[in-house]
Structure 1
Amino acid sequence: MFRRLWSGLPADPEFPVDLEKLGYFINEDDEVRSIENPNNYFKYYLSRNPRWNDRQRFAMNQSLRNEIHDRLEKLGMKKELLPIGTKDPSEPHVSIFVSSDLALKKRVVVIFGETLQDLGVLAHRVIGGAGGVNKGSLVSIVAELQKQRTSVTDPSPPGIILANMGELIWWPEGKLSLTNTAFDGVPARSAVHNGNLIMKSNLVEGNEDPKKHVNHIFGKVIPQLVNKDAGIDIIGVGDGADYVEQYLDLVWDAWKHRINCLALVGGLHPVWELHNEKFGEFLKNKARAYATCLEPAGFLLSGPEGNPKTTIFTDLGCPVFSSGETHFTELTLIASASVVLDWLQEVALTPEGQDYKNPEFEIVYADPIMDPIMDDDVDWSEWKDDEKMEGEKNGNDESQVKVKPVKVEPEETSGKGSNEPGLVLVTRPAENQVKEGDGENGEKHGDASEKAKEGGEKNDEDKK
C-alpha cells in the first residue's frame, strides 16, 4: 500500500522580494530591465511549472509595489490605515494614500482604481515593460495633479486620496493586504497545494469587498480627513468607476453639494440602471466618460444620450470621449491622463459664482463604413469568375488544359554567357491530373493498368 507523507511533497519555491536579487534593475528610461541582458524586460515564463512562474511574479510585483510606494511618499503622500483609527500595522488593515496636508485643502481629487490592481498601480504591463514605472503607476498622475491650482483664487495644488480597490485580502504572515492574484502567489505548504483559502480572518472590517471599501471612503475617510468645505473631484478607472457610480446613485442627496465633477475612465455602468434622476442630471452636466477607441485621446464620440451610429458603448448618461487606448481598460487612464486632468483643471478654474456645466456638443462621429466586400447589401448576382469564364470560352475545363514544360533561354547580356541555366516551367505530375479527371491521361493510365494485369496473368501461367 502506497502512502505519501506531507514531508514528501515538493517545497514551494522561494523568491526574494528584491528587484536586484531577482536579477533586474531600473534603467535611465525608468524601465525595468534584466541585469544579465539589459535589452530584455521582465521574463515571466521562468519554468514550465506555473507555480514557479507565479511565485516569481508575486515577488516581482511586490518589489515594484514597494518602489512605487517609496516614490509616492517622496511626492508628499502618506499611508493611512483603514479602518480609520488603526495604528498597529500588524493588525488587519487596508492601506490607502492621502496627501500629508489633506486637512488644509479646499479641493480634493479621489482616485478609485481597478479591483485587480495593487495600490498605486495602473498597469503592470507598462511598469514592467515599455513605458516604465512612473508611467504605469499613479506616480505620474499624482505628480501632474500637484502642478494644478485648487481654484481661480487659490494657486496651491489640490489634495489627493488614492483608494485601494484591489488589496482587500489580509495576509497575516506578511502583515499586509493583497489582491486576489497576489494572494494566490503567497507561500503555500507545498508547491502542489491548490491555492490559498480565504477565510473570515482574511477580511478587513468595513472593507470586505470593493463596494464596502467605496462606502468606507465616502462614509469615514472623507468626513474625518477632509475639510468639510472642500470640493471633491472623482476619477474612476474600469470597474472602480462602476462601483462609484452605483454608490453615488444611492446616496446622491448627501453628496450633491460637494462633488465638483466625475471622470469615468473605462467605466461601463449603463444609464438605464440608474435610479436617481438628480444624479442622472449631474452625469449629464458635470461628468465625462473616456472609452477604449481607435480615435486619439479627447476625440468626442457621443453626447449624454448615446450615439447609435457606433458600436462603442456610449449609453453612459454623459458625454463620451476617446481615451486614446484601443483595447485594454487598464491603459485608458495612462493614455488619456493629460485630457482627463486638463478637464478637472478646467472645472476647478470655473469663475466664482458660476456653476460649471458641460457645453452642448455637436456629435459627428460614426463608425467607418465597412468594406463593400463585407457588406450584406452587395448584389452578387452579376459576379463571375474570370478564370472560369476563360476556360468555358475555350471549351475546356481548367483541369483539362495541358501545359507542356517550356524552357526559357536567358537573354544575351554583356558579361554573361549563353550557357547560363534557363528558367523551366514545369506542370503538375501526371498522376495528379488523372485524379482530377484528365480524360486523355486517364485512358493511357487505364491501358497501362490492363497491360500490367495481362503481364501478371502470364507470369502466373509460367510459374505453373
Structure 2
Amino acid sequence: MFRRIKPIEHREEVDFPIDLRKLGYFINSQDQLRQIEKPSEGFDYHVHRVERVNERRREAVDECIRRILEPRFVEEGLTKQYLPQGSDPATDPCVPILVSNDLDDVEKVLVIIGNTYDDLGVWSVREMEGPGINHGSMISTIRSAKKEKFGFLILNCGQNVYSPEIGRVVTYRTWKAATKASPHLDEVKNRVVGHENVQKHIESVLDEYKGRLVGKDVKKKKKIYFLTYGWGCWGLVKYMNVNFAEWKPSVEALIAAESTHTAADVTSSDLCHFLTTRARAYIVHSDPPGTFIPDRRFVCQTFSTAQIFSETIIPNSWRDVMLPWFKRVEEDPEGCNPVMLVDWESVERLKEGWGGYTGSKKHKDEDNPDKWAFDDDEEDGNGEDYDHEAKLKEGGEAFGQEGLEEMVDLRDAEQADRANRALQENERPITVISDGLKEMGVVSGALRI
C-alpha cells in the first residue's frame, strides 16, 4: 500500500519568445549559433532543472533557426510547394517540400530525402553551432550542387505531424514541445492523407513529380541522383523495389547515409544490380572518409566517414567525398564502382570466426590459392612482381571455379550478384581493421576510392 505524501505539483507552461537575443543567443560573423554571455559556446540545452522548460526553450530556438533558413532557401531559387496538390497551407493539413524553380529546365536533378526527425532542409542542428547554419542545413549542399548544374527536389520526411494548434505540420519533437508534455497522437487528426509516414510520403511525392522527372512530357531528358539519409533511404528503396522499371532509364546514382534498409528489402533484380553498380552507403565509422568497409547489409558498397554522429555524415562528407563520386558517375556510369579483387578463400574462412584467423600464408606453388594474399610485395610463382592490371584485363574468367574466385567485376550483373550472395552467406565482423579488410579480399589499392 502506498500513500501520497505530497500532492502532484501542476506547473503552468513557460512561454519563450521567438527571438534569439531574448533567448540569449546570436549568430556570429561565422554564421554560428552562439551564446551572448559566452560567445565561444553554442547552444546549451540543460539550463533549468525542469526538463519541460528546457524542451520548450529548445523549441523556441529551433523556430528561430527555421525563420532564418526560410529566406535563404528562397535566395537559392527554391520554392515551398504543398502536398496534396491544391491544399491551402493556411487552412488545410498539408506537407511542404522544396522544389527548385528551374526543375523543368535542368538536365540533372538531385532528389534529397532526409531522416524522420529533422525539419525541412535541415541535416544537423549540431553542425549549426560550428561550422555554421548553412553547413548544418542543406544550404551548403545546395550551393555546391548548383555549381554542377543540379536542380532540386527536397522531400520532407521529418515534419509528418499535423498540429491544429500550431496550424501546420511539424516534427514530433516540435509538436510535443509546443502542445503538452504527454500528448496523444491521433492517427487521423494529426496526419496528412498520403503522408502518414515516411514510406507513404516518399511514394506520394515521387508519384506526384514523376511526370516532370521521367514522364514523356519532360522538356529535357533528366538524370536523377538520390541523396538520402536514414529512414529516408529505406522509404526510397521500398518504393523503388516496386517502381524501379519506370525510373530505371533516368536514375543515375544513389547515396545512402547511415541507411536503415537491408538486403531483405530488395527483391527486384534490376534494383539489386543498380545498387551494386551505382549506389554507395556511407556509415558512422572511425576510418578516414572514403575508406571501403566490407559490410553486406545494404547490397551496395559501403564506405566510412570518420564521423561519430549519423546526422553529421552528409554535411561533412558531401563536398569532398559524395559530390565527387556523383561526378564520377556522370563521367563513367558503367565504371563508377571499381573492379575489385576478392580472395574468396578468406571469405569462406569467415565462417570459422574472426577471432582465431590470423591470415593467409603465401606459398610458392602457383596452384595454391593463397598466392593471392594481398601483400604489397606480392610476387607471382616465378618470383616476379604480380601484375594485377594484367589479371583484371583477363575478364574474370575464373569466377565460379572451385577454391579462389579471383575477380569480381561489379559492372557485370551476374558476377556482382554472385559476389553479393557469397558475402551474405558469411558473418559480418564486429570490428573492422586493416587486416580484416585484407582478409575480406579487398586489394589495398582499392581501399580509398
Structure 1 residues 36 and 285: CA distance shift in structure 2, 3 A: same
Q: Does 1:293 align with 2:285?
A: yes
Q: Does 1:179 align with 2:171?
A: yes
Distance 2:115 2:170 in 1: 13
Aligned to 1:348: 330
Aligned to 1:153: none
Runs of 5+ consecutive residues of structure 1 not aligned to the other structure: 3-7, 149-156, 302-306, 308-312, 367-374, 379-464
Do the aligned partners of 2:213 and 2:222 also contact (CA within 8 Å) in 1?
no
Distance 1:23 1:225 in 2: 45
Aligned to 2:367: none
Q: Deviations over 1:388-433 (max 9, x none)?
A: xxxxxxxxxxxxxxxxxxxxxxxxxxxxxxxxxxxxxxxxxxxxxx
Within a 5 Å distance, the mapping from 1:395-406 to structure 2 comes to none
Q: Does 1:254 align with 2:228?
A: no
Distance 1:290 1:49 in 2: 38
Distance 1:194 1:263 in 2: 37
Aligned to 1:53: 54
Offset of residue 9 of structure 1: 4.3
Aligned to 2:99: 98
Offset of residue 356 of structure 1: 5.5
Do the aligned partners of 2:79 and 2:101 also contact (CA within 8 Å) in 1?
yes
> What is the one-letter code of the residue matched to 1:12?
E
> What is the one-letter code of the residue matched to 1:74?
E
Aligned to 1:71: 72
Q: Does 1:360 align with 2:339?
A: yes
Distance 2:201 2:65 in 1: 24
Runs of 5+ consecutive residues of structure 2 not aligned to the other structure: 347-354, 359-449
Distance 1:101 1:141 in 2: 17
For normalisation by structure 2, the TM-score amounts to: 0.70
Aligned residues between the structures: 340
Query: Equivalent residue of 2:339, what SS?
Result: coil
Do the aligned partners of 2:240 and 2:271 also contact (CA within 8 Å) in 1?
yes
Aligned to 2:422: none
Q: Does 1:136 align with 2:136?
A: yes
Q: Deviations over 1:247-292 (max 9, x none)?
A: 1112212211121111111114222442111111111111111122
Structure 1 residues 281 and 71: CA distance shift in structure 2, 3 A: same
Structure 1 residues 222 and 253: CA distance shift in structure 2, 3 A: closer
Offset of residue 357 of structure 1: 4.9
Do the aligned partners of 1:297 and 1:335 also contact (CA within 8 Å) in 2?
no
Do the aligned partners of 1:300 and 1:363 also contact (CA within 8 Å) in 2?
no
Query: Equivalent residue of 1:28, what SS?
Result: coil
- Taking every aligned residue pair, what percent have the same amino acid on both sides? 29
Aligned to 2:394: none
Offset of residue 59 of structure 1: 0.9
Offset of residue 162 of structure 1: 1.0
> What is the one-letter code of the residue matched to 1:125?
R
Moved over 6 A (4+): 375-378
Aligned to 1:279: 271
Offset of residue 181 of structure 1: 1.2
Aligned to 2:145: 145
Offset of residue 88 of structure 1: 4.1
Q: Does 1:239 align with 2:227?
A: no
Distance 2:123 2:139 in 1: 10
Q: Deviations over 1:187-244 (max 9, x none)?
A: 43xxxx5335434122112111101001012111342577733221101112211221
Q: Does 1:323 align with 2:305?
A: yes
Distance 1:361 1:213 in 2: 37
Offset of residue 36 of structure 1: 2.4
Distance 1:296 1:60 in 2: 34
Distance 1:89 1:342 in 2: 41
Distance 1:52 1:225 in 2: 46
Distance 1:90 1:268 in 2: 35
Do the aligned partners of 2:107 and 2:150 also contact (CA within 8 Å) in 1?
yes
Structure 1 residues 282 and 20: CA distance shift in structure 2, 3 A: same
Offset of residue 84 of structure 1: 2.3
Offset of residue 359 of structure 1: 2.6
> What is the one-letter code of the residue matched to 2:304?
S
Structure 1 residues 202 and 268: CA distance shift in structure 2, 3 A: closer
**Greater Cα offset, 25-34 or 261-270:** 261-270
Distance 2:289 2:338 in 1: 18
> What is the one-letter code of the residue matched to 1:320?
T
For normalisation by structure 1, the TM-score amounts to: 0.68
> What is the one-letter code of the residue matched to 2:166?
G
Structure 1 residues 268 and 203: CA distance shift in structure 2, 3 A: closer
Structure 1 residues 225 and 12: CA distance shift in structure 2, 3 A: farther
Q: Which is greater in Rg?
A: 1
Q: Deviations over 1:91-139 (max 9, x none)?
A: 2111111111111122111010111111111111112x23221111111
Distance 2:185 2:157 in 1: 20
Alignment partner for residue 332 of structure 1, among 298, 313, 331?
313
Within a 5 Å distance, the mapping from 1:424-463 to structure 2 comes to none
Structure 1 residues 225 and 89: CA distance shift in structure 2, 3 A: farther
Do the aligned partners of 2:80 and 2:97 also contact (CA within 8 Å) in 1?
yes
Query: Equivalent residue of 2:143, what SS?
Result: helix
Distance 2:288 2:192 in 1: 41
Query: Equivalent residue of 2:126, what SS?
Result: helix
Aligned to 2:395: none
Do the aligned partners of 1:25 and 1:33 also contact (CA within 8 Å) in 2?
yes
Do the aligned partners of 1:113 and 1:237 also contact (CA within 8 Å) in 2?
yes
> What is the one-letter code of the residue matched to 1:105?
V
Do the aligned partners of 2:262 and 2:298 also contact (CA within 8 Å) in 1?
yes
Q: Deviations over 1:275-315 (max 9, x none)?
A: 111111111111111122111111222xxxxx3xxxxx433
Offset of residue 164 of structure 1: 0.4
Do the aligned partners of 2:237 and 2:265 also contact (CA within 8 Å) in 1?
no
> What is the one-letter code of the residue matched to 1:81?
Y
